[in-house]
Amino acid sequence: MSANCIFCKIVAGKIPSAKVYEDADVLAFMDIGPIVKGHTLVIPKQHFDPITATPEPVLAKLVAVVKKIAQAQMNGLRAEGVNVMQMNGAAAGQVVPHIHFHVIPRFATDGHRWNWAAKQYDDPNEMKQLAATVQAALK
């Protein structure tokens, strides 16, 4: 447990939550500020952050539960689609620094729109150069 981590406090039962799923390693509970009602968070019980510092076996368990929740939102809430999101760092919009996946049920009528404003590369080489830079950093 990480001191002052709100999600660690939820895992420890010190802060209440509306639990959806729990096993030895993973907890899923309702987001208190839903983008769409039914919005659920999937977290590891152990404190990790960000994704790059989270062991791959933990990520595999988290994603397996994300899949379960997405299916349950479709079956139980009659969701017509599901968004899965995961933020890392304040620049990416992360507020709670304990890794979590957002699983958001979507309906054609839910009224939510992402501000997904696609931009353009300055020239054809710029995209290739960025690909090469990231690829080199993989090694």
CB of 47: closest distance to Zn ion in angstroms?
A: 3
Near Zn ion by CB under 5 A, which window of 4-12, 27-35, 55-63, 101-109? 4-12
| Residue keyed to tokens 């379960």 | 68
Beta bridge partners of 82: 105
Contact 73, 105 (CB under 8 A): yes
The verdict on 8 binding Zn ion (CB under 5 A) reads yes
13 or 93: CB nearest ligand AMP: 93
| Least distance from Zn ion to the Cβ atom of residue 25, Å | 14
- 51 touching Zn ion, by CB under 5 A: no
CB of 126 to ligand AMP, least distance (A): 29
What is residue 34's three-state secondary structure? Answer: coil
Taking CB under 6 A as the criterion, which residues in 83-122 touch ligand AMP? 87, 93-96
Residue 34 preceded by cis peptide, ω within 30: no
- Check binding of 12 to ligand AMP (CB under 6 A): no
- The span from the CA of 133 to the CA of 97, in Å, is 28
Alpha-carbon span 31 to 34, nearest angstrom: 6
96 near Zn ion, rule: CB under 5 A: no
